[in-house]
Amino acid sequence: MSRIVTALHDGPEGAKGQVRDLRVRWALEEAGLTYQTRTFGFGEPRKGSDLADQPFGQVPAYAEGELRIFESGAILLHIAGQSEALLPRDPAQAARATSWLFAALNSVEPVTWQMVIMTKYVWGDRPWAADARAAALDFAQGRLRSVANWLGDRPWLEDRFTVGDLAMVSVLRSLPADYLAPHPELQAYVARGLARPAFQRALTAHLADFRHPEAA
Ligand SMILES: N[C@@H](CCC(=O)N[C@@H](CS)C(=O)NCC(=O)O)C(=O)O
């Protein structure tokens, strides 16, 4: 079965090591599934490739045989469905893992990455940016506190590592270090996730694609 993940081979400062193909690669590595990548330049027109049919023109998109999927969350869920390493067989446990996948991408990522980073890098020169950033930070810290309280001293969000942790760690690791500083539980949790050999393999492959623009 062929599997292809779209990724970027260049991008703005800070994109390297952060683009969301990384979480898909991580899931594939955890599941022990092989894949190839197709890379694009940042903002490069992508017409002419069926994998460019990501409705928002973004990466990652994913092809598996004839199947085409977009949105990192949907891709993660699809991959997790193929591997007990990511999704427990027990339906109740699988539902909990799925809940955390959605929580990471729906309740945490928009308020942390989108709001906080947008007010700094994207809207940073607007006159209201500083106020918006302070408010966004405050709100985001509330969400981080909720995750930290849930986690307590447990290693993972539920009884074992699942795709929910993969998504949550992926979201949290993208934050500037000082955002996590008030939450040692989250710092330890992220460190645990990043120490997984599958993440390290995924990161190495992600960085390798960035280092070789001619690989497109
Ligand atoms: N909600 C989407 C967000 C995808 C996204 O933001 N992709 C960014 C990289 S992380 C992108 O493609 N940016 C480059 C571009 O739009 O050309 C997902 O989770 O897949």
**Residue closest by Cα to atom 2 of ligand 1:** 71
Q: Give me the residues paired with residue 62 across strands.
A: 5, 69
Which residues contact ligand 1 via a Cβ below 6 A? 19-20, 42-43, 57-60, 71-72
Q: Which residue has the higher pLDDT, 193 or 1?
A: 193
CA 67 to ligand 1 centroid distance, Å: 20
Residue 43, CA distances (Å) to 12, 39, 50, 115 in order: 10, 12, 17, 21
Least confident of 44-48, 111-115, 153-157: 44-48
67-70 and 3-8 beta bridge pairing: unpaired
97, 158 Cβ separation under 8 angstroms: yes
Q: What whole-number percentage of the chain has pLDDT above 70?
A: 93
Question: Between 214 and 200, where is the model more confident?
Answer: 200
Span 65-82, pLDDT tens digits: 999 999 999 999 999 999
- Reported confidence tier of residue 56, pLDDT bands at 50, 70, 90: confident
In single-letter form, the type of residue at position 54 comes to: Q
DSSP state of 51: G
pLDDT of residue 50: 61
Q: Which atom of ligand 1 is nearest to the CA of 105?
A: 19
DSSP state of 133: H
Q: How far apart are the first and last CA of the chain?
A: 22
Kindly tell me the sign of the dihedral angle through the C-alpha atoms of 81, 85, 89, 94.
Answer: negative
Q: What is the mean pLDDT of residues 115-125?
A: 83
**Which of the residue ranges 70-84, 129-143, 162-176 would you say has the lowest mean pLDDT?**
129-143
Mean pLDDT, range 169-194, rounded to an integer: 95
Residue 216 pLDDT > 50: no
What integer is the mean pLDDT of 152-162? Answer: 97
Please give the pLDDT value at position 206.
96
Specify the pLDDT at position 14: 80
How far away, in angstroms, is 163 Cα from ligand 1 center?
19
The 3-state secondary structure of 120-158 reads: HHHCCCCCCHHHHHHHHHHHHHHHHHHHHHHHCCCCCCC
In whole angstroms, what is the distance from residue 26 CA to residue 168 CA?
A: 13
The atom of ligand 1 lying closest to the CA of 60 is 20
- Tell me the H-state helices in 32-90: 72-80
Report the nearest-CA residue for atom 19 of ligand 1: 72
Q: Which of 24, 59, 102 to mutate to test the pocket of ligand 1 (most atoms within 8 A of CB)?
A: 59
Enumerate residues 6+ apart whose C-beta is below 8 A from 141: 179, 182
Phi, psi values for residue 60, rounded to 5°: -90, 150
Atom of ligand 1 nearest to the CA of 70: 20
The DSSP H or E segment spanning 70 is: strand 67-70
Q: Give the C-alpha separation, 42 to 165, whole Å.
A: 28
Closest CA to 167 of 101, 96, 79, 83: 101
Nearest atom of ligand 1 to the alpha carbon of 73: 19
